[in-house]
Each structure stands twice: as C-alpha cells, then as structure tokens.
Amino acid sequence: MNISLFVACFNDTLYPETGIATVQLLERLGHRVDFPREQTCCGQVHYNTGYQDETVSLAKRFVDIFSDAETVVAPSASCVGMIREFYPKLAILSGDRKLIRDVDDLLPRVYELSQFLVNKLELEDVGACYPHRVTYHPTCHSLRMLRVGDAPLRLLKKVKGIDLVELPGAEECCGFGGTFAIKNADTSMAMLTDKIARIKETGAEVCTASDNSCLMHIGGALNRQREEVKVVHLAEILASTEAASTETNSPNSGYKKSGSQNSGSTESGPTKSGTPNP
C-alpha cells in the first residue's frame, strides 16, 4: 500500500524517533511510505484553545496536501481525533462547500497507527521484539474520542519478549490537556502526580501510549523526579526488532541527549535516559 505519513508537528520537532520508527515499521511490513513535505500541523492546539478561525486555514492546508493520498497514517491519536471529529464540523462552520466535500472525501482514508494496523491491515503480530516490562496508558483522545479500543493492547500483546503489565486507573486522564497544563498548572500536576504513582506501582520500565503529547507530560515529571521509568511511543516499541534488542538491554526514552536520538532509534538500541547525564 502507498502510505502518506502525517508525522504531526509535535513529533517532527520534538520526537523525530517516533516518526522514524513509524516509517521503519510500515516499510518492514512491505508498504511504501511517503512524507509530503508541505505538511505542518493539524490545528489541534488552536482549535482546543478557542482559535477556530485560525484552525480553518490549517485544516484547509492539511486537506490540500493529503487530498491525493491513498492512505494517511499518523502516529498521533489526538491529531487523528482532531481530524476525524472536528474537521467536518469546522468545514460546515466555515461554509466553504469545497472544504466540506474535500474533508468528506479524505476522512475515511486517515488512520491512527494502531487502528491502521489492527483494523485496516488486520494485523496484530507485527514482528516486533521488545524484552522489557511495559505498561500502557490509553490517552483520553485515543480512548474516548478516536475510540481505538484495545487495538494498541492487541498489538503490544503480540510483541516478543514483552512483559505487559496493566496500569491501574488506566482510563484516568494524566492532566495534560494542551494549554490546560499551563493555564491550570497546579491542577494538572495534581492529576499527573496520581498518574505517576499508578505507573510506578506497576514496576514497569516503560510507559507507552499512542500520543507523545501525553507522554511528554508524564515523562517530563518522571524526568524531573529522577525516576527510572521511561516513556516510549507505541510506534517505537512496534518498530523494535530482535536485532535491535540484543544490542543493549535498556529501553529507549523520550528524554535523552538529543545528539544520539536520530541515529535510527530502533537500530541504535535503547539509550538509558530517565536521568540524563547521571
């Protein structure tokens, strides 16, 4: 299949390893991946903060750039949630007939990574190997907006060597909420503190999710508190192979020396980084 990758601005800029892992995974599964370079952002930050007019222009851009794509895949549940849930509404609000039509036409071809693998490709075993103790946090937008259901868990269960542990109170929000984490920083931290306590209870080395935004939030506090637990995007776990995992036995993480982060996250092997420069 020809897949156009929407990497999401957030991943592009801060978490390139997630994009790289997605490319490696999809290519390993025999697909052709293309990265339309004009892409920037789906507009979620603007939309959620109340800047709807600004969002319309970004939605139009997105639709133009991907209109010819056979399939669009994004390793970001909240961006796909935004596109699926709100693009149609925004299009109607804008009154732009062409946009309404284009959105309608494009939407069925836009997938979040785990949904693409499980629902579209009907795959669960993607041939990954990741010998670590992992817990999965279902992010709110993946769970309640995009309704990915248990797709990520089904994929994780089939990963070789993984020790998957259930996260207590998994469905509770981590307190991120975009600008909420800044506007209501104290409340956000109170929520995050509870989430981190649950993660630590599991004894997992790695907390994974289908959104790097929430992982950045969780990882940001883990890092500050010098915790050993690392945050790793689902795509990176699924892209990991036996070859990579034998090189080293410590999982990759969202926080580490940026110089090493792009040497191909999955091949270079995990870098220990909960405590940078210990």
Partner 1 sequence: MSSSETGIHPTFEKTARSFLDNSQLRSNLGHATRTIRDKRRGVVDEMPDWEELREAGRQIKQKVMQNLDHYLLQLETSVTRAGGVVHWARDAAEANRIILDLIKERGETEAVKVKSLTTDEIGLNKALAKEDIMALETDLAELIVQMAGDEPSHILVPAIHKNRSEIRDLFRDKLGKPDLTDNPAELTEAARRYLRKKFLSAKIGISGSNFAVAETGTVAVVESEGNGRMCTTLPQTLITVLGIEKIIPAWQDLEVFMQLLPRSSTAERMNPYNTFWTGTTEGDGPQEFHLVLLDNGRTQVLADPAGRETLHCIRCSACLNVCPVYERTGGHAYHSVYPGPIGAILTPQLRGLSDKSAASLPYASTLCGACYEVCPVKINIPEILVHLRGRVVRHNKNWGGIRGKVNPELMGMKWLAWTLRSRSRYERAQKMARKGQRWFMHDDVISKLPGMLSGWTAMRDLRPVAEQTFREWWRTRS
Scanning residues 225 to 264, which ones bind partner 1 (CB under 8 A)?
Answer: 254-259, 261-262
Residues of span 116-155 touching partner 1 by CB under 8 A: 140-141, 143-145
Binding residue (CB under 8 A) for partner 1 from 3, 4, 19, 79: 19
State phi, psi for 115 to the nearest 5 degrees: -65, -40
Residue 171 · residue 153 · CB < 8 Å: no
Helices (H) and strands (E) in the chain — how many of each?
15, 8
Per CB under 8 A, 197 contacts partner 1: no
- Minimal distance, residue 51 CB to partner 1, in Å: 5
How far, in Å, CA of 86 to CA of 59, rounded?
Answer: 10
Per CB under 8 A, 207 contacts partner 1: no
Considering the complex, state which of residue 213 and residue 240 has its C-beta at the smaller distance from partner 1: 213
- Minimal distance, residue 132 CB to partner 1, in Å: 21
Residues forming a β-bridge with 165: 135
Per CB under 8 A, 20 contacts partner 1: yes
- The end-to-end CA distance of the chain, in Å, is 44
Per CB under 8 A, 7 contacts partner 1: yes
Considering the complex, state which of residue 6 and residue 130 has its C-beta at the smaller distance from partner 1: 6
Which residue from 172, 173, 167, 233 is spatially nearest to 198, judged by alpha carbons? Answer: 167
- Minimal distance, residue 191 CB to partner 1, in Å: 5
Cβ within 8 Å of residue 262, ≥6 positions away: 16, 17, 20
> How many amino acids of this chain bind partner 1 (CB under 8 A)?
73
Residues of span 166-185 touching partner 1 by CB under 8 A: 171-173, 175-185
- Minimal distance, residue 48 CB to partner 1, in Å: 6
Which residue from 146, 179, 135 is spatially nearest to 76, judged by alpha carbons? Answer: 146
- Minimal distance, residue 103 CB to partner 1, in Å: 17
Residues of span 34-93 touching partner 1 by CB under 8 A: 35, 37-41, 43, 45-52, 54, 57-58, 61
In which region does residue 175 sit, left (phi positive, over 0), alpha (psi from -120 to 50) or beta (all else)? left
